Amino acid sequence: MSEPVAKNRVPVFFGLLVLCVLVLLVANVCLGSATFSLKELWAAVSGDESGSPVIAQIVLDFRLPRALTALFAGAALAVSGLLMQTVFRNPLADPFVLGVNSGASLGVAIVLLVLAPAGISLTQGLELSGHVLVVIAATGGAAVVLGIVLAFAQRVDVMSLLILGLMMSYAVGSIVSILMFYSMAERIQSFFSWSYGTFGNVAWSHMRVFGSCILAGAGASLFLCKPLDALLMGERFAESLGTNVKLVRFFCLGLASLLAGTVTGFCGPIGFLGIAAPHLCRYLFKTARHRVLIPASLLSGASIAMAADLVAKAPGFDGALPLNAVTALVGAPVIIAALIRQRNLRKAFG
C-alpha cells in the first residue's frame, strides 16, 4: 500500500510544518499594504495602551480574522481533498469533483444574477445584508448537491458516483452559464468577483459558525484513519477486514462536502488546495497512512493557503491579486516537482 513510514522523518516534518504555520500566521498579520513590526503586533494583540489604536484596529478587526480564515480554509480543503482521493482512489479527485463547487456557484448565481437589484453595489442592496445572503446561497446550493450525491452514495459503486458528480457539475454549470448570458454586465461582474475567492470576507461574527463547522469536520475525519487505510487496498479487501465500506464512504463524502461547502460558502470557490496539499504530504512523509496524512494535510493546507493569501495581498502595494490565480501559481511548481520525484504515485492508491 505504501512505503514504510520513515519514523525519523515524521516528527521532523511535523515540527517544520507547525513552525511554518506559525511563521506564516504572524507574517500574514504583519504584512500588507502597511507593514507592522512584531513589537507593534504584540502591542495590538496584548491590548498594550502604549500601542497605536489604529494599528490595533487593523490587526484585530481585519488582518487577524483574515489570517485565521486562511488557516482554517486551507486545512479544511486539504483534508477534504485527501478524503476524496482515498474514497475514489483517484489522485485527481478534489472536494469539488462531486459538484459541491457547482452547487455553491448556482446558489450565488441565483442571488447575484436573478434576485439582486440592478447596480454595481447590488450585494449591499439586498436584504439581510448582501454578504450574509451570498453565504447562505452558496452553502445552500452546496448542501442541495451534497444531499443528492449522498442519496446515491449507498446505491451505486464508487466509479458511478464519481461520474454522477461530474455530470451534475456540467449540468449545474450550464444553468449558471444560461443565467450569465441573460444577465446585466454589472451583475456578471459581481459574480466574477465572488468566483475569484477571498479570505477577507469572514469577520469575527462569522467565525463562530465558520470555525465550528471546520473543527467538527476535521476532528471527525481523525476517527476514520483505519477504514481509510483499508479502502486504499480496495473495497473487497476492506470488507474482508470488517469495514462497512458503504457507511465509511457515506461519512467520508459527508465530511468532505461539509468542509468544502463551508469554505466555499464563506470564501468563494478556492481551487487547487484540495489536490495539492495531500500530494505534498505523501511526498514529504513517504507514506499513505492516514494517521500521518490527515494531520499533515491539515498543517500543509493551512500553510499553502496562508502563503497564497500573503502573495495575493501583494505586501507593500496598494492592489491585490485574485486568490484563485495565486493558489495555483504558488503551489503548482512544488507539486509538479514532488510528483516527478515521487514517480510511483500509483502505489499510494493500492
Per residue in 70-81, pLDDT (tens digit) is: 999 999 999 988
* CATH code: domain of residue 344: 1.10.3470.10
- Coil vs helix vs strand at 197: coil
Instruction: Please report, as a single letter, which amino acid is at residue 187.
Output: R
Q: How far is CA 85 from the centre of its chain?
A: 14
Of residues 65 and 108, which shows the higher confidence score?
A: 65
Considering the domain boundaries, does residue 142 fall inside one?
yes
Domain residue limits at 210: 9-348
Instruction: Read off the C-alpha cell for 240.
Output: 474482508
Instruction: Read off the C-alpha cell for 77.
Output: 480543503
pLDDT (mean) for 21-25? 95
Considering the domain boundaries, does residue 1 fall inside one?
no
Considering the domain boundaries, does residue 97 fall inside one?
yes
User: What's residue 331's pLDDT?
Assistant: 66
Of residues 122 and 79, which shows the higher confidence score?
A: 79
pLDDT (mean) for 289-297? 92
Considering the domain boundaries, does residue 2 fall inside one?
no
Round to whole Å and give the CA distance between 41 and 32.
Answer: 13
- Percent of the chain past pLDDT 90, that is, above it, reads 18
- Nearest partner of 277 among 224, 332, 227, 210, judged by Cα: 332
User: What's residue 347's pLDDT?
Assistant: 57
Round to whole Å and give the CA distance between 74 and 278.
Answer: 11
125-170 pLDDT, tens digit each:
554 455 667 777 777 787 787 777 767 766 777 677 777 777 888 8
Could you give the number of structural domains in the chain? Answer: 1
Considering the domain boundaries, does residue 4 fall inside one?
no
Round to whole Å and give the CA distance between 286 and 343.
Answer: 12
Considering the domain boundaries, does residue 277 fall inside one?
yes
DSSP label of 110: I
Round to whole Å and give the CA distance between 182 and 203.
Answer: 33
